[in-house]
Amino acid sequence: MKRFIVVVASILWAFPSVQAQEFRLQPTPQEYVFRNDSVLVPQYYQLHAGSSVSGQPVLLLLDSLMSGKTSKADFELWVGTQADKCMRKYAKRIPNKADGYYLQIEKERIVIAGADERGAYYGVQTLAQLLTRNKLPLVEITDYPDVPYRGVVEGFYGTPWSHEARMDQLDFYGQNKMNVYIYGPKDDPYHRTPSWRKPYPIEEGERIKQLVERAKQNEVIFYWAIHPGGDIHWNEEDRSALLQKFESMYQLGVRGFAVFFDDISGEGTKADKQVELLNYIDEYFVKAKEDVAPLIMCPTQYNNEWVKIEDGYITTLGEKLNKDIRVMWTGKQVVTTIDKPTLDFINPLLKRKVYLWWNFPVSDYVTDHLLLGPVYGNGLDIKDEVSAFVSNPMEHAEASKIALYGVADYTWNMESYDSEVSWKYALNALMPTYADYLETFAAHNSDPGPSGLKFRRDESVAIQSALSELLKNYLEKGEITSSAYLQVDKECEKIMRAADVLLASGDENPVLLKEIHPWLLQFKLVGQYGKEVLNMMHLLSQQEAFAQSYDHARALQILMCQVDASYNQSAVRPGVKTGSKHLMPALDALFEIAATRYNEQYGAKLSTQVYSLNKEKEK
């Protein structure tokens, strides 16, 4: 049975509310008890550190959080792992789980005891969150992750993240207790065809070294992936070229390697040849180095829907691939949520627990949309069926943090995971001052829209029923449901206000605001459009006033088309869509109904079709 926070309401540590003044540990710990007491953050303290953490990131992090270390202080801070003699007193309280830790805060001491070095580091990361309060609560936390490896695979098509974005991401992973980053952007030529055989130029190699070092500081395993299948030749020359590339990356400090065979055709898809190469790498490179993390591979058939038992691809991997090689998997389909039946199908075939590659919030197939909604839909009962869970993000690194925050929370403690609560805290983490406005924006920018991958998300949840009721009654009866009308009207005001505030709030998170700027411009126009469409409905009996509202609504349609045609002109799905699942379709339908009724009532010939650049070009 898990233990949870116990406090009185006067100390705002307790319940997972999203009130700005309340507090929540991220990710949610497994067992934690807060007593109804606290202690001032010590100005001076005496450090007792075990030899296992000497020179490790845990002490560097601790030094950055708490100055005033001295041998004469009365307050003591003990930190180490179960391998240290100084932690023997707490041995029974340390969870016997990789990355686990025990944290205790008392009046005169703090104890952080890790199951291993990374566990001790995570204990200090939890202390870092507690140190943001005016006082330290007297607390006892026993904590560990549900999923052994948790993190991110930068594996999308399109513009790769910048070096600065990656460095910042690695800090974010450390803070949120994610321990894996896999470098594999599809549009890095040195990762795949045409230049996977070539070493990185000196400047780019130096940036890789910096990323590796930053990853180490955050207790993140930096994996570098190669994608040779597009033009590989199954011969000694190409095998040597791949090993030489890995060796060059090893010299840059990389200690985790992956080989991707996804999204290819032809010669590179042969399972027996893939197995032969991977087993050779595993035996003569990974194991020979002794300090390299387990090898990861992404297969050509990487989801349940694509498995063809009769061709022997998957069974060949399961039977012949070395057992310590991890195999990535996206689920039932390319983009989907993960459930236990999916894993019950594939794990026996691969004869190992899959290494989950979750394609969310990646948007390379719907680049005109932002996916800023909650992380939900994955099974809460799959922790024992997976070896890892990594998220493939958007090319918008800062905006991706909303989902990655949820992934970190979910993979750490599935039983206690609450997607809505986690989402709201993620928004607050990105923009504490303007979290409410960001929530309004994110709530209408969650769904990817229709695509061949058939993956959809909730959007505009708070006003879905109001939109449906308003549209149904207006279409069928010509009536305006006042309660629904007022709710939609209020939401449109919120949208306009949120867009303006966020557009003007560049001081808090300028990186995020730069990424979402085109969508904010469109978002404000959507709010204005909604207000004017509602005016059209209300002013049908006033001919001149209606005509003015119609003209404005029509102008806003044109302006939205111009934003759509001017920004984010990527090769795949260019443009800027916002509120596209429920809000815009309802507003467009209401516009058409109102214009049609006006024409019928006054014998007018107003265009009843929503303005479209494509339609205008066809004329």
Residue 417 and residue 28 in contact, taking contact as beta carbons nearer than 8 Å: yes
Q: Residue 151: which of 393, 512, 402, 511 has the closest Cα?
A: 393
Cβ burial 135-165 (10 Å sphere, 16+ → b, else e): ebbbbbbbbbbbbbbbbbbbbbbbebbeeeb
Q: Residue 252: which of 283, 282, 216, 218 has the closest Cα?
A: 216
Q: Is the peptide bond before 361 cis (omega within 30 degrees of 0)?
A: yes
The Cα–Cα gap between 104 and 34 comes to 10
Structure tokens at 496: 């306009």
Helix (H) or strand (E) holding 425: helix 419-430
Whole-Å CA distances, 572 to 430, 565, 568, 575: 28, 13, 10, 9
The Cα–Cα gap between 63 and 55 comes to 11
Residues belonging to the active site: 263
Query: Is residue 252 classed as helix, strand or coil in its secondary structure?
Result: coil
Angle of CA points 14, 409, 402, to nearest 5°: 105
The Cα–Cα gap between 171 and 252 comes to 20
Whole-Å CA distances, 520 to 55, 221, 342, 444: 46, 35, 38, 11
Measure CA of the first residue to CA of the last residue in the chain; give whole Å: 68
The Cα–Cα gap between 551 and 455 comes to 36
**What is the arrangement of strands in the sheet containing 46-49, beginning at the earlier edge strand?**
31-40, 135-143, 101-105, 109-114, 76-81, 46-49
The string of DSSP codes covering 358-386 is E--S--TTSTT----S----S-TT-GGGE
Residue 589 and residue 471 in contact, taking contact as beta carbons nearer than 8 Å: yes
DSSP3 helix / strand / coil % (the chain, rounded to 5): 45, 15, 40
Q: Residue 363: which of 512, 511, 510, 570 has the closest Cα?
A: 570
